[in-house]
């Protein structure tokens, strides 16, 4: 039986049907988080109830559903005994059926208390927030964490924009969502010194060091956050010296374009990254004067790469319509192998 790397209250035992493996689920934790804390490679993507990739079958045992309206599972699937591991909190011992992922868990997530230090505005509706945790800031470039914010139901996923560090700093580029509970708490109510909970790291869209392929990063909006971490990661790692790196960034209008300035401020990235920008909204402020590309970012990627899509390693993040369009284009049209595509959809 695997033990979680976090101890809290009474633990329940989760048995995996058809295997000798199992793990302990700490009080109040989800099946997914406890599996990953124990090093069990449970399949998942968003940890936010949106994608459905963490579904399992509950064979025996009692559970609570943290978010019954989560869109990643239908009523029909629930009726057949299926559950979302990222929203299921066991209330006793359980037996479950799931096909584990072939990949190992790269870093086991841990729960940390963190203090809000400051915020830096990047665009009219996007800012970089900095927190300092009590435990180590351990994560891979491109991963995300779950933030529990005062007065907000459930946790929210945010991708780190910085690198793992000894100073225990966690930085996140976050876009305000009008009417959104989490982003309103962050942008309008968070005073310096406020304590929050950071649970992480999570995510499979991290910088791969075991390939020599040139790199293509694609982001829309706050998808900038994990891509900045990936770029900072490769800029700080000599295994990437001489590697070609392209970055395609899409925003609604010119006022969303903080990327060139951010890269310009980093000596390791300044002359290194080939930057391609596109705006998608002709009505956005300043759009009439924009001399660059107009349209969707996946069209600019298709146009710029021409032939030879399969030679690259891809990292792409942002709103689901953007990531789905990029995914379709690369996988179905360009036939890039799935093992070269690393992405996070920001549900």
Ligand X SMILES: Cc1cc2nc3c(=O)[nH]c(=O)nc-3n(C[C@H](O)[C@H](O)[C@H](O)COP(=O)(O)OP(=O)(O)OC[C@H]3O[C@@H](n4cnc5c(N)ncnc54)[C@H](O)[C@@H]3O)c2cc1C
Binding residues (CB under 6 A) for ligand X: these are: 46, 48-50, 66-67, 144, 153-154, 156-159, 172-175, 177, 180-183, 222, 225, 344, 346-347
Cβ-contact 294, 321 below 8 angstroms = no
In angstroms, what is the minimal distance from the CB of 197 to ligand FES? 19
| Stretch near ligand FES under the rule CB under 6 A, chosen from 4-12, 13-21, 42-50, 234-242 | 42-50
In angstroms, what is the minimal distance from the CB of 285 to ligand X? 20
Indicate whether 145 belongs to the interface with ligand FES (CB under 6 A).
Answer: no
In angstroms, what is the minimal distance from the CB of 34 to ligand FES? 14
Q: Binds 344, which of ligand X, ligand FES, none (CB < 5 to 8 A, cut-off by type)?
A: ligand X
* Residue 306 C-beta-side C-alpha neighbours within 13 Å: 0
d(CA 88, CA 32): 8
Which of 123, 159 has the CB closer to ligand FES? 159
Which of 178, 306 has the CB closer to ligand X? 178
Concatenated DSSP letters of 76-140: HHHHTTEEEGGGEEESS-EEEE----SSPPSS--EEEEEEEEEEEEEETTEEEEEEEESS-B---
Of all helices (H) and strands (E), which one includes residue 225? helix 224-235
Which of 12, 175 has the CB closer to ligand X? 175
d(CA 78, CA 128): 38
Residues 80 to 99: which contact ligand FES by CB under 6 A? Answer: 84, 86
Indicate whether 322 belongs to the interface with ligand FES (CB under 6 A).
Answer: no
Residues that bind ligand FES (CB under 6 A): 44-47, 49-54, 72, 84, 86
């Amino acid at each position: 039986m695997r033990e979680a790397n976090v101890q809290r209250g009474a633990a329940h035992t989760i048995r995996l049907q058809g295997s000798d493996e199992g793990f302990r689920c700490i009080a109040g934790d989800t099946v997914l988080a406890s599996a990953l804390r124990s090093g069990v490679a449970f399949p998942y993507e968003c940890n936010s109830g949106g994608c459905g990739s963490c579904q399992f079958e509950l064979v025996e045992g009692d559970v609570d559903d943290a978010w019954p309206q989560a869109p990643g599972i239908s009523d029909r699937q629930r009726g057949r005994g299926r559950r979302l591991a990222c929203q299921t909190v066991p209330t006793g011992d359980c037996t479950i059926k799931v096909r584990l992922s072939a990949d190992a868990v790269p870093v086991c997530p841990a729960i940390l208390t963190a203090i809000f230090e400051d915020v830096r505005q990047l665009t009219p509706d996007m800012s970089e927030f900095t927190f300092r945790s009590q435990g180590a800031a351990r994560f891979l470039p491109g991963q995300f964490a779950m933030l529990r914010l005062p007065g907000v139901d459930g946790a929210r996923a945010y991708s780190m924009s910085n690198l793992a560090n000894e100073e225990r700093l966690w930085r996140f580029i976050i876009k305000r969502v009008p009417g959104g509970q989490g982003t309103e708490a962050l942008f309008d109510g968070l005073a310096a010194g406020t304590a929050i909970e950071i649970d992480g790291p999570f995510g499979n869209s991290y910088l791969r060091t075991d390939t020599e392929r040139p790199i293509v990063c694609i982001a829309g909006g706050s998808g900038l956050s994990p891509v900045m971490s990936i770029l900072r990661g490769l800029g700080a790692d000599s295994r990437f010296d001489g590697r070609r790196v392209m970055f395609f960034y899409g925003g609604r209008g010119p006022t969303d374009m903080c990327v060139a300035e951010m890269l310009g401020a980093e000596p390791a990235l300044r002359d290194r990254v080939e930057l391609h920008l596109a705006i998608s909204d002709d009505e956005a402020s300043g759009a009439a004067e924009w001399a660059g590309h107009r349209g969707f970012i996946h069209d600019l990627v298709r146009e710029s790469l021409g032939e030879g899509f399969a030679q690259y390693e891809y990292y792409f993040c942002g709103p689901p319509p953007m990531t789905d369009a990029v995914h379709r284009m690369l996988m179905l049209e360009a036939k890039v192998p799935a093992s070269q595509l690393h992405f996070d959809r920001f549900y």
